Amino acid sequence: MVRYRYKKQNQDCNKTISSGKDKKFMCGIVGYVGKDKALSVLIQGLKRLEYRGYDSAGIAIRDINGKISICKAVGRVNDLEKKLRYDASGNLGIGHTRWATHGGVTVNNCHPHHVGKVTIVHNGILENYLELKTILCNEGYNFYGDTDTEVACAYIDYVYKNNSSSEIKDILEKCMNIFVGSYAIVGMIEDYDSELFVMKKDSPLIIALGDNGTYVASDISAYANDTKEYVPLEDMEYGTIMDNEIHIYKNNKELELLFNTLDVTNNEEGLQGFNHYMLKEIYEQKDLVSKWYNRYFNNHEIDSLVNMNDFKKIHIVGCGTAYHAGMVGKYLLEYYGDIEVQVFIASEYRYQKLFIDKDTLVIFISQSGETADTLACIKKVKEYGVMTLGIVNVENSSIARIVDKVIYTKALSEVAVASTKAYTAQVYVLSMLALKMALANDKLEIVDVKDFYLNLSNLIDKALNYDYKHIIDLIWKQEHMFYLGRNIDYVTMMEGSLKLKEISYIHSEAMAAGELKHGTISLMDEHSCILVMATLERLANKTISNIKEVKSRGAKVILLIREDISNNLDSDCYDEVILLPKGCYFTQPIINIVYLQMIAYEVAKRLGLDIDKPRNLAKSVTVE
């Protein structure tokens, strides 16, 4: 009998529910047991996970005769389909899209792995796999690939063969007491003809209920159209799943599962006429800023945000694009809140000495809510008893569940690997936190900025319809690019530079414009191309001075300058200029980034690259 109940959606503005479709991870896991043919269910699930980035795929089906058939292929799910037997029967199976970590991109290293009577798929890293492999080799096991997953599979088989208990849960508990590292494991044992088993630690795994069976996945988006009830497993939980029974344990005690109701109203499928998801998502920002305006200004959700004035200092932690959003937040919060703000890369923050106490607020930013390094940082700061705030896009994600407060960005699904609207959403939320501080500190009145936010949609539309041809002509053949700016423009250029390198593979470096003369100017010559941003009136002349330094050395300069401060601009200090519309200090970074997103997109398009799935990248990194 399934033991579960349903969780009511929390309507508190700091616990707002958004679409589960936005949860994105590195490798992908799917599993199914039910009334339908597992093959078609699993293939469809794998296809819905393709956006995350992967290099191989595989599937294992238990047929009606009890035989487990495995098919694996290097490349895309379409390559896997070409190798499948379409008459495969059976309503129990698992599937996987792999991104190589241990071992190269080969069929032998693809998941699922099968050893003895056990077949598994696995996300994460088993840190003690070499130690376990030595033990298993001494016990007569042979290995055909280089992965830690094959070792995990063999060890489960080893414990199963040498265990007196007939219950799978006892085998799983023994293995979890031995395994070191992160793992989401879904598997089958040949002697059990109607059930899957699951194990979870530090890597996402969900169970979902449908009319025709029970689903397992690393990401609810794999089955968002097939289910409305799901539960994310917590660390150190394990158990078995059948068509009409679910048994999940922790510390050898069976749990009552608290299922969530999935809101799929925001799950927008398909390209809807756009050539790429990235372009679609850049365009969606125009409508999203209007929705966010209604949320915070018309529905007054700004009033219910965390009171930042309760703290003496703030730490912001994130990776990649989330880190850049945090840097924008630093400038806004310090300027309007008169509070010390430090921003940290999560992979560094988790290993450094921390100087935090009860007067510190630590903000964690993650699009998926599952970023491994960021999650580890939360667990670390919890030991200090500090207040934690998550800024994430995904309902009930791991970060959202363990922080003290959460603000959902409500950016809808983002399929392209290079983040665009998720970044904008993070900056928007941070600007709301800064605005609340400014209002509380009597630094401005809300009427001073409402029109700037209200007009954002129109100003983004200008960026979307700008003719970038002459800009792209200067960039697309470059091997190296430099992005320069000062103050908040500098961190916007950090994000713009990242977008270019992510999807065009052009080496790009962002720096504070004042640092140019401290070494990097030695690289400037007639082969150099520089993007420079100047939208702060008080610093514009200093930035233009830096432009003249590189222009005098023959470099090509593309200047992005606010139109109202460009009147006295000397035309011989740039090759191309983009006149940016005026925003306020809160909204200008949002306006500016859309131009940089479009430049990156148009360059990659001119180069004919796979814009939505750039090489070597994944949507979210769930291993260290």
Instruction: Note if the bond before 581 is cis, omega within 30 degrees.
Output: no
Q: Rounded to the nearest 10 degrees, how much is the dihedral formed by the CA atoms of 378, 379, 381, 382?
A: 110
307's tokens? 């009171």
For 63, the 3-state DSSP assignment is: coil
Annotated catalytic residue, options 23, 24, 27, 613: 27
Task: Supply 232's token pair.
Answer: 């994310």
Residue 584 designated active-site: no
3-class DSSP string for 426-480 = HHHHHHHHHHHHHHHCCCCCHHHCHHHHHCHHHHHHHHHCCCCHHHHHHHCCCCE
Number of H helices, E strands in the chain: 17, 26
27 is catalytic: yes
Report the candidate in 149, 94, 96, 160 with the shortest Cα–Cα distance to residue 127: 149
Task: At 240, list the tokens.
Answer: 């078995």
What distance lies between CA 230 and its chain's CA centroid?
20
C-alpha 572: how far from chain center: 42
Q: How many Å separate Cα 307 from the centre of its chain?
A: 27
Which three-class secondary structure state does DSSP give residue 611? coil
CA distance 478 to 506: 7
Distance CA 512, CA 17 (A): 38
Catalytic residue among 200, 201, 613, 619: 619
* Residue 566 burial (CB count, 10 A): 15
Query: What contacts 568, CB < 8 A, 6 or more positions away?
Result: none
- Do the Cβ atoms of 188 and 160 come closer than 8 Å? no
Our CA angle for 464, 23, 41, nearest 5°, is 110
Amino acid at position 616, single letter: N
For residue 62, give Cα distances in angstroms to 33, 194, 238, 239.
10, 9, 21, 19
CA dist., res. 396 & res. 318, Å (int): 18
CA separation for the pair 212, 40 (Å, rounded): 13
Q: And the tokens for 399?
A: 């970060």
Active site residues: 27, 619
